[in-house]
């Protein structure tokens, strides 16, 4: 799953400054009359700057906006959510699956320890010589090849569980394996094979029987390591193994912006850059399931996975990096050139991150921090150069200033605020687009710190907040309640989970059960300590600032001494969120359509710089998260998602607040321009995709001097 932080930060400027900025901005007509090239430049605004222009390293939406123009992935989804090729022209997905021959189980009519005979037996079943049920028949028909993999010996060095500084040296003498090549991924293959091999054939495989520890001099050490070894045996030598495989066929003659030809080495390098621990990539968990990336030839790359991983194909929408500019030699040369230590220099320190080179539709030109980022169209873009010659991304922190500049024509679009929607949605002067966001806003609690490690306290905090009031008065009705971590528009979201009720008295009862009682001054206390903490969020976001004020007031009404703090975005994220230094915070997630929530909710992702920064740990949730990632059947995936939704809603690591509605407006003169093979030009209206993405055809957008007659071609 690719997951981004929702960035909405914009401090209000003084009214006088706003008035002055409005007065000096030239009108659209003045701009186009004095500069006709304005029609070929698209100008948009962001309330915050990008952080790092590298798709492997960034995690904010402002950076992603620019990366989407500069870089290109192997594929993406079309307007109907179907996968379509980008740098990859086509692909195949199949599977290689293995199981070890188990000599402890008798299969009727077969001699133990004879893998060749077992292969013949399986081939007989495939040929229809043995009676099988419909499920096994489907699995057998999916098999294209059955072969024997010879026994092998190898040495494994593993850390001792709970004592990572110590290691185990394990000698493995693996028996023969049976290998299947499958036309499609079959997650039920081994379960179905038990119908002819026996219920215990796979579950009883004695992994530890084929392993031995390299001895230590100290007998006590040996005994302790033996316990750790037994626990890890099935991980080292699993009875069965699913290895899904994706083979991508790349487009020929695609070039990076510097003229270098794109190829399979760049795909492999991008994967390796994500996996390099020095780079601290937030994308790591999306690619950890990969077993290996192999370059078959310059235009063919094969990705083999360690285990079932249903979101696999979608992860390759990530922008591909140029290997020749960021490989070890290039980084070493850059470090030397800049007088830095080569052995400590990583991609994160590279100037590439402020001067990116990709093979997307626009070429990076200039970045002036907190002012603008400028791009030019790429004349050699593989799909044809965009109609717009320039793309300008201006940093304008104040939404009202953005609105004024939009009206004057110096912006082509801006982020419409909730209080402006009613006024603009029926304005005939503009194109209007709106929809429910793919994401949500929440209050997250640092569960490492008391009292947030008590579920009753977290639930009470949620019960004390009137979310409906926030939606009505802060969002002007432009939002909906949300109860859990999935995108509300998908069937992974469980609509049967009811919102936490607004019930301050019920909250006080829960807090009383947890030991919190009101003192004479009205503050809640426990063991002589006042219930006191700090709620933080980023400055410049008026909606979050208003939410913070409402929440602080409502918590204080039940006796909680809440302090608040607004922090500049980079300080907020880098010093507080990434370093887990907070009590509670207001943030939001912008989500994709896939249900993989590993990065945000799995207990392994609770360390600094990871995305489960609230420290949520739940064994049942962990199991479901893994099941969701490894499940290929949609109905079962939905069922697991609903179970996960219920657990998280019950535990309340977040107070789930709302999903907002978005509204965007454009000048009606911005249209889609298409040119057919004969040179005939057609203008079409802009229409959003199924997900509400109205910029899907951006490369074909153009601004005309006047609104066209869409029935007319010319």
String of DSSP letters for 481-529: E--SSS-TTSTTS-TTSPPPP--HHHHHHHHHHTT-EE-TTS-EEETTE
The 10s digit of each residue's pLDDT in 556-592 is 999 999 999 999 877 898 899 989 999 999 999 988 8
Angle at 243 between CA 242 and CA 245, to 5 degrees: 145
Separation between Cα atoms, residue 406 and residue 385, nearest integer Å: 26
Locate 396 and state its tokens: 């304008």
* pLDDT at residue 5 in the model: 35
Please give the biggest Cα pair distance in the chain: 92
The 10s digit of each residue's pLDDT in 591-647 is 888 899 999 999 999 998 889 999 999 999 999 999 999 998 899 999 999 999 999
* pLDDT at residue 714 in the model: 43
| Cα dist from 319 to 53, 355, 358, whole Å | 11, 15, 8
Q: What are the residues whose beta carbons fall under 8 Å from the beta carbon of 295, sequence distance 6 or more?
A: 264, 265, 267, 268, 301
* pLDDT at residue 19 in the model: 31
Query: What is the set of domains in the chain, with CATH numbers?
Result: 4-70+329-437+665-703 (3.40.190.10), 88-92+244-327 (3.90.76.10), 100-236 (no CATH), 439-662 (3.10.105.10)
Separation between Cα atoms, residue 697 and residue 709, nearest integer Å: 19
* pLDDT at residue 48 in the model: 82
* pLDDT at residue 35 in the model: 65
Nearest to 391 by CA among 78, 43, 629: 43
Q: Is the confidence at residue 2, as pLDDT, over 50?
A: no
The 10s digit of each residue's pLDDT in 300-343 is 999 999 999 999 999 999 999 999 999 999 999 999 999 999 99
Nearest to 187 by CA among 312, 342, 82, 75: 312
Mean pLDDT, rounded, of the chain: 89
Please tell me which residue, 373 or 414, carries the higher pLDDT value.
373
The 10s digit of each residue's pLDDT in 540-550 is 788 999 999 99
* pLDDT at residue 517 in the model: 96
Q: How many CB atoms lie within 10 A of CB 39?
A: 17
Q: Is the confidence at residue 451, as pLDDT, over 70?
A: yes
**b/e map of 209-247 (b: 16 or more CB within 10 Å)?**
ebbeeeeeeeeeeeeebeebbeebbeebbbbbbbbbbbb
On whether the CB atoms of residues 146 and 116 are closer than 8 A, the answer is no
Q: What are the residues whose beta carbons fall under 8 Å from the beta carbon of 450, sequence distance 6 or more?
A: none
On whether the CB atoms of residues 101 and 176 are closer than 8 A, the answer is yes
Locate 39 and state its tokens: 């029609």
Helix (H) or strand (E) holding 270: helix 264-275
On whether the CB atoms of residues 447 and 614 are closer than 8 A, the answer is yes
Q: Above pLDDT 70, what percent of the chain?
A: 91
What one-character DSSP code corresponds to residue 711?
T
430 DSSP β-pair partners: 667
On whether the CB atoms of residues 264 and 299 are closer than 8 A, the answer is yes
Separation between Cα atoms, residue 298 and residue 300, nearest integer Å: 6
What one-character DSSP code corresponds to residue 410?
S
On whether the CB atoms of residues 158 and 167 are closer than 8 A, the answer is yes
Band (pLDDT 50/70/90 cuts) for residue 408 is confident
Q: What are the residues whose beta carbons fall under 8 Å from the beta carbon of 428, sequence distance 6 or more?
A: none
The 10s digit of each residue's pLDDT in 180-230 is 999 999 999 999 999 999 999 999 999 989 988 776 555 555 566 666 666
Ramachandran category for residue 259: left, alpha or beta (phi over 0 → left; psi -120 to 50 → alpha): left
* pLDDT at residue 160 in the model: 65
On whether the CB atoms of residues 660 and 479 are closer than 8 A, the answer is yes
Task: State how far Cα 221 lies from the chain centre.
Answer: 43
Task: Tell me the residue ranges of DSSP E strands in 597-685.
Answer: 654-667, 670-675, 681-684
Angle at 648 between CA 644 and CA 653, to 5 degrees: 150
For the ranges 37-46, 240-249, 381-390, the lowest mean pLDDT is seen at 37-46
Q: What are the residues whose beta carbons fall under 8 Å from the beta carbon of 645, sequence distance 6 or more?
A: 483, 484, 485, 486, 492, 493, 494, 497
For the ranges 49-63, 357-371, 424-438, 687-701, the lowest mean pLDDT is seen at 424-438
Helix (H) or strand (E) holding 473: helix 467-473
Nearest to 102 by CA among 242, 229, 198: 198
Separation between Cα atoms, residue 503 and residue 481, nearest integer Å: 16
Locate 654 and state its tokens: 């977040």
């Amino acid at each position: 799953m690719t997951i981004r932080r929702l960035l909405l930060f914009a401090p209000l400027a003084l009214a006088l400054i706003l008035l002055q900025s409005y007065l000096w901005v030239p009108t659209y007509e003045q701009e186009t009359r004095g500069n006709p090239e304005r029609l070929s430049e698209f100008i948009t605004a962001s309330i915050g700057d990008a952080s790092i222009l590298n798709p492997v390293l960034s995690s904010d939406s402002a950076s992603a906006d620019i990366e989407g123009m500069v870089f290109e992935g192997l594929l993406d989804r079309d307007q109907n959510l179907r996968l379509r090729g980008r740098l990859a022209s086509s692909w195949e997905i199949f599977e290689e699956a293995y199981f070890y021959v188990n000599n402890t189980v008798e299969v009727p009519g077969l001699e133990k320890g004879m893998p060749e005979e077992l292969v013949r037996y399986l081939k007989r079943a495939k040929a229809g010589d043995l009676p099988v049920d419909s499920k096994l028949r489907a699995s057998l028909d999916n098999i294209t090849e059955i072969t024997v993999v010879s026994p092998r010996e190898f040495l494994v060095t593993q850390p001792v569980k709970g004592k990572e500084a110590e290691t185990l040296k394990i000698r493995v003498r693996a028996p023969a394996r049976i290998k299947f090549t499958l036309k499609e991924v079959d997650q039920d293959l081994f379960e179905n094979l038990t119908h002819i091999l026996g219920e215990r054939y796979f579950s009883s495989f004695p992994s530890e029987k084929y392993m031995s520890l390299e001895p230590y001099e100290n007998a006590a050490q040996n005994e302790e390591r033996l316990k750790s070894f037994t626990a890890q045996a099935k991980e080292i030598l699993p009875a069965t193994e699913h290895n899904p495989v994706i083979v991508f066929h790349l487009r020929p003659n695609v070039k990076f912006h510097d003229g270098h030809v794109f190829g399979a080495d760049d795909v492999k390098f991008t994967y390796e850059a994500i996996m390099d621990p020095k780079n601290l990539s937030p994308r790591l968990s999306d690619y950890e399931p990969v077993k290996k990336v192999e370059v078959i030839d310059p235009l063919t790359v094969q990705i083999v996975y360690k285990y079932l991983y249903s979101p696999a194909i979608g992860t390759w929408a990530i922008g591909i990096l140029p290997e020749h500019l960021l490989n070890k030699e290039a980084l070493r040369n850059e470090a030397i050139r800049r007088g830095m230590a080569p052995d400590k220099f990583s991609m994160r320190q590279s100037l590439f991150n402020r001067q990116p080179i990709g093979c997307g539709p626009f070429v990076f030109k200039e970045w002036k921090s907190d002012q603008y980022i400028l791009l030019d169209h790429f004349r050699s873009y593989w799909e044809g150069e965009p109609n717009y010659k320039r793309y300008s991304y201006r940093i304008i922190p104040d939404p009202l200033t953005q609105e004024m500049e939009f009206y004057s024509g110096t912006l082509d679009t801006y982020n419409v605020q909730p209080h402006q929607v009613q006024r603009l949605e029926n304005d005939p002067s503009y194109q209007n687009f709106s929809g429910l966001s793919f994401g949500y806003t929440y209050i997250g609690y640092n569960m490492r710190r008391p009292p947030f490690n008590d579920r009753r306290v977290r639930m009470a905090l949620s019960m004390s907040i009137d979310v409906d009031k926030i939606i009505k008065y802060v969002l002007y009705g432009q939002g909906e309640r949300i109860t859990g971590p999935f995108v509300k528009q998908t069937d992974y979201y469980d609509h049967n989970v009811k919102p936490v009720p607004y019930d301050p008295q019920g909250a006080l009862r829960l807090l009383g059960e947890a030991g919190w009682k009101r003192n004479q001054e009205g503050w809640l206390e426990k063991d002589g300590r006042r219930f006191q903490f700090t709620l933080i969020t980023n400055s410049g976001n008026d909606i979050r600032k208003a939410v913070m004020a409402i929440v602080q007031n409502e918590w204080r009404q039940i006796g909680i001494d809440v302090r608040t703090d607004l922090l500049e975005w980079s300080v907020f994220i880098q010093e507080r969120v990434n370093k887990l230094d907070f009590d509670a915070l207001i943030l939001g997630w912008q989500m994709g359509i896939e249900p993989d929530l590993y990065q945000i909710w799995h207990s392994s992702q609770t360390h600094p710089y990871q995305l489960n920064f609230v420290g949520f740990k739940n064994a049942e949730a962990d199991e479901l998260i893994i099941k969701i990632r490894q499940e290929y059947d949609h109905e079962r995936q939905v069922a697991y998602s609903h179970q996960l939704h219920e657990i998280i809603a019950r535990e309340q690591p977040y107070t789930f607040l709302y999903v907002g509605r978005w509204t965007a407006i454009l000048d009606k003169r911005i249209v889609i321009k298409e040119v057919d093979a004969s040179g005939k030009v057609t203008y079409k209206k802009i229409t959003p995709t199924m997900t509400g993405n109205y910029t899907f055809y951006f490369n074909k957008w153009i601004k005309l001097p006047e609104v066209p007659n869409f029935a007319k071609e010319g």
